[in-house]
Structure 1
Amino acid sequence: MADKQKELVRIDKMDRKILEYLQKDGSLTNQQLADKVGLSPSPCLRRVRALEEGGIIVRTVTILDHKKLGLALTAIILIGMDSHTPERFAAFEEQVGEYPEVQECYLITGQSADYMLKVVVPDMDHYHHFLLNHITRIPGVSGVHSSFVLRRVIDNTTLPLGYLS
């Protein structure tokens, strides 16, 4: 199943500068952003809107401190599937998309698993319940391997824009 390759959107040095600031602080006002990148507000806003319309800026989010909210356990789950059909994968992906505990889901290669999930829950009891009552009940799941995060060494949401010309 090949995805359509998305057309790359060309950005210039100023766009890259705008994106670097917005990745670090998406709450900047247009005036603050314009001041930081050295533009007047109107051209800055036009550029941001063009980046949004071009699909470069997908959404703006607020990152929460999970531990302060009582979500102290992060698990990485490797999941094997019993068959490798588009229908089986689509059904799995639709089901895990309904679980707010799942922060990330990747279809992967190079492992003895088909999917890798990042799951955040309050504690081991909640994880056990989530695993047994949700993940293992999804049709097609044939194997589960869990690892638990001891410490976040790098937790970065910014993309490396230095590679762009």
Structure 2
Amino acid sequence: MTLNKSDRKILELLQIDGRMTNVSLAEEIGVAPSPCLRKVKQLEETGVIERYTAMLDASKIGIGAVAFVEVKVPRVTGKDFTPQFRKAVLANPWIVECFITAGQFDFLLRVVAKDMHHYSEIAQEYILRLPGVQDMRTTFVMETIKKSAPLPIL
């Protein structure tokens, strides 16, 4: 899908305020509400807009530790553990993001926990027991400088 100027503006505005009314959105981009709604629906149907969500303050809901965990899941003797690993990661609510990476490790996980003790339990009882895990390295977040910034619209 090729994005035009009004599509880009819609995406910029909805990343800042996903609850913006269609009327307000239409006024901001300078079109009538009906065509604006059609554009938003098209962006949703084509998957450009994946979903709408609320950003929460982690500390106010009991999350005191955030870690980035690099995981090595090698292919051994022709066995690829990736499908089982993916399924296990998707089933764990404490693993909030997972990326396949290039480099020394195969996956990068963002893991949240109540505290360091809870993270230790997650790491030892879950992450290290994921299918095929050979090695892991953890980096803890000390302070968040920038959080979920809107994506630049190219």
**Counterpart-to-counterpart distance in 2, 1:137 and 1:81:** 11
Runs of 4+ more than 6 Å apart? none
CA RMSD of aligned residues (A): 1.4
1:2-151 matches, within 5 Å, as: 9-83=1-75, 87-110=80-103, 112-151=104-143
Normalised by the size of structure 1, how large is the TM-score? 0.88
Normalised by the size of structure 2, how large is the TM-score? 0.94
**Structure 2: gaps (5+ residues):** none
**Counterpart-to-counterpart distance in 1, 2:21 and 2:31:** 13
| Percent of aligned pairs sharing the same letter | 38
Q: What are the superposed Cα offsets for residues 21-76 of structure 1, whole Å, 9 maximum, x if unpaired? A: 00111011111111211111101001001111111111111111111111011000
- The alignment covers a number of residue pairs equal to 153
* TM-fit CA distance, 1:141: 0.2
Shift in CA distance, 15/126, structure 1 to aligned 2, threshold 3 Å: same
**Structure 1: gaps (5+ residues):** 1-8
* TM-fit CA distance, 1:139: 2.1
